[in-house]
Amino acid sequence: MDGLYNVAVVGATGAVGVEMLNILESRDFPIDNLKLLASSRSAGKKVKFKDKEYVVEKLTKDSFKNIDIALFSAGGARSKEFAKFAVEDGAVVIDNSSAFRMDKNVPLVVPEINPEDIFKHNGIIANPNCTTIIMLMAIKPLYDYSRIKRIIVSTYQAASGAGAQAMEELKQQAKDWANGREIKTEKFPYQLLFNVIPQVDIFLDNDYTKEEMKMVNETRKILHDEDIKVSATCVRLPVFRAHSEAVTVEFENDVEPKKAKELIDAFPGVKVVDNIQEGVYPMPLFVSGKDDCEVGRIRQDLNGSNWLSFWVVGDQIRKGAALNAVQIAEKLINK
């Protein structure tokens, strides 16, 4: 692939689709023709991209003629139904849903971590779950220094992880509370405003949620390490954008906090924000809208000198989804 590319964005009017378009424009991705696709509900809407107005088209099996790269962000059901048509028409699909992540024939990629896997594709490349991406951006430079035996992680996930309508629901709940109106809940199992919900996605037979098991299985696949142990607790917070994670890691060898900071700061796409004397550490309020993940509160865990604990924050819509997908596309065309 070289030159200019015909690109389709599937789910172009959703939170991640909108962000994909912003990133494609800001990073000046070499686009010849752009096609915006969505459900019949959104078909006909007009979207501006690089000073040109595009009309959103209804997604059909015939939408991918002459398309080189198809960025999918319309949910797993749509991906399973339509990705094959894109591949049949010669496009490479970069899919943001969970539909293909654990398919052994589909690479699961974070470009800073396992870029070589991009080129093992058979037409489809999967974008990992947002929580996995954010955690592994901090984990990978440490893993390269000393193999990791165990990860214990608690996530603090923003409403953005449940989509644009979920973010709108949180905003509406705040307005309704401020005006003394009844607070309504549709997108979450309980009111999110002034609350913390220790459930993201459905519960499975082992009493972990689907979201928690994504972190277990995806981490192993991306790192190519089936022996690494991961235990996750995923929690939804009344925050608009950017997920936060408290991570504790057991290494095979001793790792000092000073060394960990050096390793993380030298790794692309992540930076250390850690000055507890000045009260400086990553927070969603300041990471929202940024490309880089930020890591702070890096400290020797009390379990021993081969344990570390830290706090990592990343924008779920950008690095956790849209940016990661566009970066995969960039690697693909720059091969």
Domain CATH for 109: 3.40.50.720
* Domain match, 69 and 218 both: no
| Residue 232: closest CA among 243, 222, 221, 246 | 246
- The structural domain count of the chain equals 2
The CATH number linked to 170 is 3.30.360.10
Active-site entry in 121, 224, 234, 243: 243
SS3 313: strand
Q: Point out which residues pair with 245 in neighbouring strands.
A: 155, 312
* Domain match, 294 and 153 both: yes
* Domain match, 107 and 196 both: no
Domain that holds residue 85: 5-127+321-334
* Domain match, 170 and 32 both: no
pLDDT value of position 164: 87
* Domain match, 12 and 75 both: yes
Q: Where are the beta strands (DSSP E) in 217-272?
A: 229-236, 243-251, 270-272
pLDDT value of position 296: 98
SS3 112: coil
* Domain match, 304 and 169 both: yes
**What is the spatial distance between Cα 320 and Cα 132, in angstroms, rounded to a whole number?**
8
Contact indicator for 218, 139 with CB cutoff of 8 Å: no
* Domain match, 148 and 263 both: yes
User: What are the tokens at 21?
Assistant: 């378009």
pLDDT value of position 2: 57
To the query of whether residue 121 is one of the catalytic residues in this protein, the response is no
* Domain match, 87 and 183 both: no
**What is the spatial distance between Cα 94 and Cα 97, in angstroms, rounded to a whole number?**
9
* Domain match, 115 and 84 both: yes
Q: At what angle do helices 130-145 and 257-265 cross, to 10 degrees?
A: 120
* Domain match, 168 and 114 both: no
**What is the spatial distance between Cα 132 and Cα 222, in angstroms, rounded to a whole number?**
9
* Domain match, 160 and 224 both: yes
* Domain match, 146 and 122 both: no
Q: How many Cα atoms sit within 13 Å of 332 on the Cβ side?
A: 29
To the query of whether residue 130 is one of the catalytic residues in this protein, the response is yes
Q: What is the pTM of this model?
A: 0.96
**What is the spatial distance between Cα 318 and Cα 127, in angstroms, rounded to a whole number?**
12
Active-site entry in 121, 130, 234, 293: 130
Contact indicator for 271, 295 with CB cutoff of 8 Å: yes
Q: For the chain (length 335 residues), average pLDDT per consecutive 10?
A: 88 95 98 96 94 96 98 96 98 97 98 98 98 98 98 98 94 98 97 98 98 98 98 98 98 98 98 98 98 98 98 97 98 92
